[in-house]
């Protein structure tokens, strides 16, 4: 193992090829092109946002309905209180 040496072959255009790949990677993509290329991820994110919004809206609506029901029940009970009834 001590005498074993690896001598890689020399590629004369190595540096030029590396810089060409780096330059090619810098190409910017437009938003519509990006969305077309990542359609599944965009659709999944949109579906997740809709589901989370629906769940959040449902829980908020249920809380508001429960609070309104409690307020109406309290007002009804207070209205039926014999001590508060005024006889005319």
Does 28 reside within a domain? no
Domain with 86, as residue range(s), is 34-88
Does 40 reside within a domain? yes
What is the torsion angle, in degrees rounded to the nearest 10, for the CA atoms of residue 60, residue 62, residue 65 and residue 66? -110
Does 87 reside within a domain? yes
Does 75 reside within a domain? yes
Residues in CB range of 42: below 8 A, 6 or more apart: 35
Does 7 reside within a domain? no
Per-residue pLDDT of the chain (88 residues; tens, 9 = 90+): 788 888 888 888 999 999 888 887 767 778 888 888 899 999 999 999 999 999 999 999 999 999 999 999 998 888 887 777 776 6
Helix (H, G, I), strand (E, B) or coil at 86: coil
Counting the structural domains of the chain, the total is 1
Contact assessment for residue 59 and residue 52, using Cβ atoms and an 8 Å cutoff: no
Does 39 reside within a domain? yes
Does 64 reside within a domain? yes
Residue 69 confidence (pLDDT): 97
């Amino acid at each position: 193992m001590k005498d074993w040496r690896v001598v890689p072959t020399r590629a004369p255009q190595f540096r030029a090829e590396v810089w060409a790949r780096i330059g090619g990677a810098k190409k910017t993509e437009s938003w519509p092109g990006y969305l077309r290329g990542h359609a599944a991820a965009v659709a999944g994110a949109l579906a997740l946002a809709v589901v989370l919004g629906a769940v959040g809206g449902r829980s908020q609506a249920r809380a508001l309905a429960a609070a309104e029901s409690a307020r109406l029940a309290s007002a009804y009970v207070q209205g039926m209180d014999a001590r508060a009834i005024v006889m005319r």
